[in-house]
Structure 1
Amino acid sequence: MITQFRDRTEAGLQLAAQLTAYRDRPDVLVLALPRGGVVVAFEVARKLHAPLDVMIVRKLGVPGQEELAMGAIASGGVRIFNDEVVYMLRISDEMINAVVAREQGELERREYLYRGDRPAYDVRGRTVVLVDDGIATGATMRAAIVALKQQRPAHLIIATPVAAAATCDEFIAEGNAIICTHKLDRLYSVGIWYEQFPQTSDEEVRDLLERANQEYSAWLRRPK
């Protein structure tokens, strides 16, 4: 029987248990989709003894129906559109450009807020574990995947506590590796699979990234 996770921390610990093959490997980098994905990824990174960073993606909501995604953007200038939604709702180029501009500004704000002047990790040639707290339609994750593959990692593993089975199958068919604790035939909402699913703040993201970097640095300095 599939049961709810108590919170994102418990979900991260369960997910980490499925990723032990990547523990103590110097080539492994854990990337999280903010904000909630960072809480999950923090537990994954500390169990794998791997560095943690963020992969920032912003959903492009349909004007007036913002919960409906017409696409997504990601770091590195990546843009992905759901052509069917754009065509069916007759969304103009002007409307698209306005939404992109707004979300690009928020993406850049978050990159500076979370990292400050610290540069992003170089993913070229590394094994990247890309973590979110759940995957429903997969639009956000797909934008992150496209952005990361442009940076030529050696391997990319999608990791999430809960996801729609159909979305997982799509990612696998596209040649991606995926680790998922609970694959569900119907996933109406990611949040209902958590007993506690609070909004994660920017301050919490920054704190977790700082703690993760401190713990990883301490692990690197340990007596061999």
Structure 2
Amino acid sequence: MAKVFSDRKEAGRLLSRELFSYSNHPNALVLAVPRGGVVVGYEVSRTLHLPLDVIVTKKIGAPSNAELAIGAMAEDGKPIFEEELLSKLGIEKEDLPREMRRVSRTIQEYIRIFREGRSLVLKEKVVIVVDDGVATGATLEAALSWLRTQRPKEIILAVPTGARDSMTRLERLADRTICLDKPEWFSAVGQFYREFGQVTDEEVKRILSAS
């Protein structure tokens, strides 16, 4: 039976148990994916006494359905596409410049809002990347691919729940992966939480200010 978490806070506390060896690590930090991942990441950073920051990544939506992720982009602005899905939908990358510009602007706006425009300095750092779950894995694939270019000492991906195929793909991009549950049937991250409310930008800013 798939594990169902009461809320993101509980998920973060349970993740912390698997990451206890990093507690008070002098060179480690938690990078959470906004917005929902910040709630989980805060619990991890608080329990382990580590700094908390955000890594910004956004999905690229299909032309006919913005909610359908056909790829993702991280802070470097380089898109990663779901090639099989593009082919299945008959979408050409040349048709997507407007969407990619929109996503790039959103990423830069989030960096301004959540980090006051600061760049992340991650060289030789132990980086724990936290999100509230993995469905397609597109946004985390973009984040981890960019993160590797920043030359951290170690990348740990930590999520409460994740689709099996997506986690298999992401495991190749991290030095260590922690996923508390990989349900056999996975349609959306929210199905594995009893309470899965929308997290606002203001809430993210409050959490980051308190960390």
**TM-score calculated relative to the size of structure 2:** 0.94
Amino acid at match of 1:127: V
Identity of aligned residues (%): 39
1:178 maps to which residue? 177
In the alignment, structure 1 segments of 5+ residues that lack a partner are: 213-224
1:167 partner amino acid: S
Moved more, 129-138 or 90-99: 90-99
Name 1:207's counterpart in structure 2: 206
Residues 1:75 and 2:67 are matched in the alignment: no
Residue 62 of structure 1, CA deviation: 0.4
Q: Measure, in 2, the Cα distance between the counterparts of 1:26 and 1:196.
A: 34
The DSSP-based 3-state class of the residue aligned with 1:112 is helix
Residues of 1 paired with 2:35 and 2:170: CA distance? 22
Please list every run of at least 4 consecutive aligned residues from structure 1 whose deviation after the TM superposition is greater than 3 angstroms: 173-176
Coordinate RMSD, CA, aligned: 1.5
Whether the 8 Å contact between 1:171 and 1:177 is mirrored in structure 2 is no
Q: Which AA in structure 1 matches 2:61?
A: G
Whole-Å Cα distance in 2 between the matches of residues 19 and 181 of structure 1?
11
Q: Which protein is bigger by CA-based radius of gyration? A: 1
The 1:139–1:7 alpha-carbon spacing in structure 2 relative to 1, beyond 3 Å, is: same
> CA separation in 2, counterparts of 1:71 and 1:58?
9
Distance 2:155 2:86 in 1: 29
With the length of structure 1 as denominator, give the TM-score of the two structures.
0.89
Tell me how far apart the structure 2 counterparts of residues 90 and 140 of structure 1 sit (CA, whole Å).
21
The 3-state SS of whatever aligns with 2:26 is coil
The offset of 1:175, in angstroms, is 5.8
Residue 34 (structure 1) aligns with:
34
Q: Which runs of 5+ in 2 are unaligned?
A: none
Asked if residue 191 in structure 1 is aligned to residue 190 in structure 2, the reply is: yes
Query: Cα deviation per residue 1:132-173 (whole Å; 9 max; x = unaligned)?
Result: 000011111100001100101110010001111222222334
| Alpha-carbon distance between aligned partners in 2 of 1:181 and 1:87, rounded to the nearest angstrom | 33
CA distance in 1, matches of 2:99, 2:195: 31
CA gap of 1:173–1:114, structure 2 versus 1, over 3 A, is closer
Separation in structure 2 between the aligned mates of residue 3 and residue 74 of structure 1, nearest angstrom? 29
| 1:54 partnered with 2:54 | yes
Q: Give secondary structure in 2 for the equivalent of 1:184.
A: coil
Answer yes or no: is the 8 Å Cα contact 1:126–1:153 preserved in 2. yes
Distance in 2 separating the partners of 1:83 and 1:60: 13
Contact 1:78 1:146 in 2 (8 A): no
Instruction: Judge conservation of contact 1:58–1:73 (CA < 8 Å) in 2.
Output: yes
Residue deviations 1:35-82 (CA, integer Å, cap 9, x gap): 000000000011111111111001001011222221111102232112
Relative to structure 1, is the Cα distance of residues 172 and 92 closer, same or farther in structure 2, using a 3 angstrom cutoff? closer
Determine the structure 1 residue equivalent to 2:122: 123
Task: Report the number of matched residues.
Answer: 211
**Aligned equivalents of 1:74 and 1:98: distance in 2?**
17
For the residue of structure 2 that corresponds to 1:148, the secondary structure is helix
Quote the Cα distance in structure 2 between the aligned partners of 1:62 and 1:187: 21
Q: Is the 8 A contact 2:3 2:181 kept in 1?
A: no
Structure 1 residue 120: deviation in Å? 3.3
Say if 2:157 and 2:174, in contact at 8 Å, map to a contact too: no
Provide closer, same or farther for how the CA distance between residues 155 and 196 of structure 1 changes in structure 2, counting only shifts above 3 A.
same
